[in-house]
Amino acid sequence: MSIHQEGVLSLKRVASLGAWLLVSGLLLLPVSGIAQIVTLSDAGSSASIDLGSSAGMNNWSVLGQNELNQQWFWYRTDSGVAQPINSIGGLTYTMYGANDVVATYQNTQLSIQIEYVLSGGGVGSGNADITESIAAKNLSGSTLNLNFYEYSNFNLLQTGNNTVQIFGSPGAYSYDTQTSGSTALTEAIVSPNANYAEAGVFNSTLNELNSQAGLVLNGTTSAGPGNVTWAFQWAQSIAGGSELDIFKDKSLSIAMIPEPSTMAFIVLGAGMLGLAIRRKSS
């Protein structure tokens, strides 16, 4: 092989290596505007969370049907308009098995870490549970006045005909229940109780979160029937280096609707039972 040929091959190798390094470098750079979606699954239930946008958790399926439109978190540290927590930036996340994810958002002032753990009730059971553990840490050297919001828009059975009731009182809201017939979702706040709460219809509270400076949820505790939403707000002063820890639990129970063939069998059985009763009484 000539020196010229060797030189050409060497240049090709360098060019190829350079291209590989460029692509690798681009892959390792933080990417904005691209959804970072994780899916949890366990024992007949699944949940999808878009960690990179305010869509947040937007699918919670039991019995093969999604019961959720959107559930996510907003925050503010001043009197301005609240921001979704993904706007903090610095996202890192780790999956622990198929049903557990820990996501952290961090800037120079604040770190917010959220862990979701999904527990299915078993294939065909119609039951599932999600626990959420939230740690908001003040990374600055001075006190941080944090307002932390949870917003939820479930659509049980996809009927758009739900009701919601929030329980507790100002400074101590502790849980809520959303229902559609005998199908129910309950969220219990383990600790600490929320300072403020708001039930409404889509999308009044979401509009407030995205536009109203210094938002304090209005204390409305019931809404529906309709496409209902609910929200909680924690207002806490956090000393430098300290954190606010919030623990919550969501329990979902879906009323099982028989298949058409099963329903026909039930109707036939009821008819036969009625005939037997009439014959017995005649």
Residue 224 is which amino acid?
G
The CATH T-level fold of domain 35-263 is: Beta-galactosidase; Chain A, domain 5 (2.70.98)
Condensed to tens digits (0 to 9), the pLDDT of residues 30-64 reads 333 355 999 999 999 999 999 999 999 999 999 99
Structure tokens at 198: 């708001």
Q: Residue 267: pLDDT above 60?
A: no
Query: Residues 167, 230: contact at Cβ < 8 Å?
Result: no
Sequence ranges of the domains in the chain? 1-30, 35-263
Q: Give the position of tokens 């505007």.
A: 33
CA distance 208 to 139: 28
pTM of model > 0.85: no
Q: What is the pLDDT of residue 234?
A: 98
Condensed to tens digits (0 to 9), the pLDDT of residues 147-156 reads 999 999 999 9
Structure tokens at 105: 């958002």
CA distance 88 to 183: 36
Q: Where are the beta strands (DSSP E) in 121-195?
A: 127-138, 144-154, 162-169, 172-180, 183-191
What Rg, from alpha-carbon coordinates, does the chain have? 26
CB under 8 Å to 29, separation ≥6 — which residues? none
Average pLDDT over residues 76-80: 96
Measured in degrees and rounded to the nearest 5, phi and psi for residue 208 equal -65, -45
Q: Give the position of tokens 């059985």.
A: 269
> Per residue in 149-181, is it b (16+ CB within 10 Å) or e — as a string?
bbbbbbbbbeeeebbbbbebeeeebbbbbbbbe
Question: What end-to-end distance do the CA atoms of the chain give, in Å?
Answer: 109
